């Protein structure tokens, strides 16, 4: 309301009376209820159950009457559902989460705590629940070791033991032990293990009939009680050949030489067809010879003295001349030993008989049929064991598709002078004064090394003159006392290391530049 008055000064005043009242917000009641915790997170397995406690505190100055405690999910329950809490005190509520009937997954719920006095308000507690799937039953079966890594020579067998333990409270019934590889077998196949004890299982790995390479398999042990589960043992197997072999493809070549440097027995040049076969990548080393001869001695296949090794079967011949001062391994106390630093040098002081015997014993070690008869030293070329190469196989493999004097080019010098082509691929009298470790020079197109130089190599054939007729897989003359030697050596001049060069000697001879390498079909 406005009103006006006149004062003596003649000034008109406008006055607004101070009659407005202060407006107050309606009172806001904080709840007397305080709950700890205000959020709950649970993780249970399928059909699991968990209990926890909520604490409700009364921070007011009058008794708190909690009239109801409710939830939003069937899997939640609370006890008690109502209670009185005096001033400045608290009460506990038991909360149960029961996942019976729930699927694996995440769930949310709430618990609401309400007083009968609306001024005291309510509190909502958030519940987060994760239901986990049931874990796979832990097996009572424990196996030691739980994996096997084995190396085995081709054709060999090995036995090993795995131990099965029962860590449970009941008798363990192993109903089956199975594998997924035909080279694995186990004994026994089923058994019982009482609590707190163990049982050994014999595992046999048999490499008969499988070639060199890497293999893997598994052994599975299964109980008749699914709660006891199963255990799988991983088996990794490396099958190796003592001698590293390479595959030589079949084909046709011109055998002999019409180059500037031929000897008369290298002619006439003639066509020869050769079937596919395998040949040792390197000349047989002292270590390879030691391992095979040790096996032969341990299996009573050779007779050994400090001076010689002879075959124990059939027509006895000297295989190795141990008492020659150039021989690089010795025998004492039942053990063959290689001279220090000579393990990877080509074996020397080996006779033709020694090369063939090595091949037979290597065939025995790998479960292959022997090619060589010890009764008359004849060769059965139709079986799959090891043997010395025929002369034609040797030259075909040495050339590896080439027609030059050496497999990397033609000869430039005939004596002990520097020949760049031969120097690149072989050890001869220019660059060596003794044998060298195998495989150091350049190999040929088929990855054969030291085919020219290092040591001369015995061949299966008797020595004889060539025919001009085309031939297929020739095996040399049927008679004769001398055997072919090919390849030249560290001791020889360049001309003797050509692919076509031919030499021969008596089969019972050994020397410091004679060696060999095996083949097989």
Tell me the domain boundaries of the chain.
33-132, 141-240, 245-520
Question: Under a CB-based contact definition with an 8 Å cutoff, are residues 77 and 59 in contact?
Answer: no
User: What does DSSP assign to residue 169?
Assistant: S
Pick from 243, 222, 225: which is nearest to 289 by CA? 243
The CATH class, in words, for 33-132 is: mainly beta
CA distance 359 to 371: 8
Quote the pLDDT of residue 26.
55
| Strand ranges (E), 8-156 | 12-15, 33-36, 39-45, 49-58, 64-71, 76-79, 83-85, 89-98, 105-115, 122-132, 141-144, 147-153
Residue position matching structure tokens 């029962």: 166
The verdict on pTM exceeding 0.75 is no
Are the CB atoms for 156 and 362 separated by under 8 Å? no
pLDDT, mean of each 10-residue run, the chain (521 residues) = 36 40 51 81 90 87 74 84 84 90 90 75 87 71 89 88 86 79 88 88 88 88 72 89 94 90 86 98 97 96 97 98 95 96 98 98 92 98 96 98 96 94 98 98 98 98 97 97 98 96 97 97 93
**pLDDT given at position 226:** 66
Helix (H, G, I), strand (E, B), or coil: what is residue 407?
coil
pLDDT at 74: 87
Tell me if domain 141-240 and domain 245-520 are identical in fold: no
* HSE-up (13 A, CA, CB side) for residue 78: 24
- Asked if omega into 80 is within 30° of 0 (cis), the reply is yes
- pLDDT, position 10: 37
Cβ–Cβ under 8 Å, residues 66 and 83 = yes
The pairing of beta strand 514-515 with beta strand 456-462? parallel
As assigned by CATH, the class of the 245-520 domain is: alpha beta
> What class does CATH assign to 141-240?
mainly beta
SS3 string, 409-430, reads ECCCCCCCCCCHHHHHHCCCCC
């Amino acid at each position: 309301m406005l009103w006006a008055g006149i004062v003596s000064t003649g000034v008109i005043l406008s006055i607004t009376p101070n009659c407005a009242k202060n407006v107050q917000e309606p009172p806001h009641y904080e709840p007397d209820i305080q709950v700890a915790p205000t959020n709950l997170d649970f993780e249970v397995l399928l059909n699991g159950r968990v209990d926890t406690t909520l604490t409700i505190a009364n921070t007011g100055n009058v008794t708190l009457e909690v009239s109801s405690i409710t939830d939003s999910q069937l899997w939640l329950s609370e006890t008690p559902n109502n209670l009185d809490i005096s001033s400045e005190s608290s009460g506990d509520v038991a909360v149960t989460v029961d996942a019976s009937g729930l699927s694996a997954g995440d769930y949310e719920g709430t618990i609401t705590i309400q007083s009968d006095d609306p001024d005291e308000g309510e509190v909502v507690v958030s519940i987060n629940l994760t239901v986990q799937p049931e874990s796979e039953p832990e097996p009572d079966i424990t196996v030691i070791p739980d994996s096997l890594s084995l190396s085995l020579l081709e054709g060999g067998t090995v036995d090993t033991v795995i131990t099965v333990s029962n860590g449970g409270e009941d008798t363990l019934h192993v109903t089956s032990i199975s594998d997924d590889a035909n080279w694995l077998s186990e004994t026994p196949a089923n058994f019982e293990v009482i609590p707190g004890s163990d049982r050994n299982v014999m595992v046999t790995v048999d490499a008969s009939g499988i070639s060199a390479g890497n293999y893997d398999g598994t052994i599975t042990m299964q109980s008749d009680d699914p709660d006891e589960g199963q255990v799988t043992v991983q088996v990794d197997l490396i099958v190796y050949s003592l001698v590293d072999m390479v595959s030589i493809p079949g084909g046709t070549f011109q055998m002999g030489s019409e180059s500037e440097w031929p000897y008369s027995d290298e002619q006439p040049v003639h066509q020869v067809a050769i079937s596919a076969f395998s040949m040792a990548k390197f000349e047989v080393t002292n270590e390879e010879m030691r391992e095979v001869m040790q096996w032969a001695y341990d299996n009573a296949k050779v007779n050994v003295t400090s001076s010689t090794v002879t075959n124990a079967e059939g027509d006895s011949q000297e295989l190795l001349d141990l008492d020659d001062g150039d021989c690089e391994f010795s025998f004492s106390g039942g053990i063959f030993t290689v001279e220090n630093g000579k393990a990877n040098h080509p074996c020397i002081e080996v006779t033709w008989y020694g090369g063939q015997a090595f091949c037979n014993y290597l065939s025995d070690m790998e479960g292959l049929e022997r090619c060589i008869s010890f009764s008359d030293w004849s060769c059965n070329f139709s079986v799959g064991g090891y043997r010395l190469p025929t002369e034609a196989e040797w030259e075909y493999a040495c050339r590896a598709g080439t027609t030059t004097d050496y497999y990397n080019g033609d000869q430039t010098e005939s004596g002990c002078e520097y020949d760049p082509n031969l120097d690149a691929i072989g050890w001869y009298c220019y660059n060596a004064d003794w044998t060298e470790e195998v495989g150091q020079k350049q190999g040929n197109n088929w990855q054969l090394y030291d085919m020219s130089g290092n040591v001369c190599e015995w061949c299966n054939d008797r020595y004889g003159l060539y025919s001009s007729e085309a031939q297929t897989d020739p095996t040399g003359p049927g008679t004769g006392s001398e055997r072919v030697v090919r390849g030249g050596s560290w001791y020889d001049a360049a001309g003797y290391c050509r692919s076509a060069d031919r030499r021969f000697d008596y089969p019972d001879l050994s020397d410091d530049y004679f060696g060999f390498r095996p083949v097989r079909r």
